[in-house]
Amino acid sequence: MASSQIIILAIVATSAATYISRFMGVITSERVSTKSKIFKWFNCVAYSTLAALLGRMIIYPAGVLAESELIIRLIVFFLCIALFIISKKNLVIPTLISAILLSTLNSL
């Protein structure tokens, strides 16, 4: 099998897995109450996965982010969390400030 065929097969397989799970979610969404324990469990799993990915990205970064020091990444992270809380959960301001802060602190 040629490498281009393997890539196309991988794209088709991952797309099928993604869309099948989304389709199943649409089918079962009417039967699940937002106040049920199963819904709360899925919500907790989603948030814990996101937290794990964020933690990995800060502690063990890849690519260009790996060039910055851990202390700089932690400073930017905590400052942006504080800014997020102060700005009444606005996502735009902390995102912009994080990019500016990270590039400024890395250049020092």
Question: Given pLDDT bands bounded at 50, 70 and 90, which one contains residue 1?
Answer: low
**Per-residue pLDDT reduced to its tens digit, 35-85:** 888 889 888 999 999 999 999 999 999 988 999 999 999 999 999 999 999
Tens digits of per-residue pLDDT, 12-38?
999 998 889 888 888 877 777 888 888
Residue 76: count of CB within 10 angstroms of its CB = 23
Q: Is the pLDDT of residue 88 over 80?
A: yes
CA-to-CA dists, residue 83 to 13, 23, 47, angstroms: 41, 37, 20
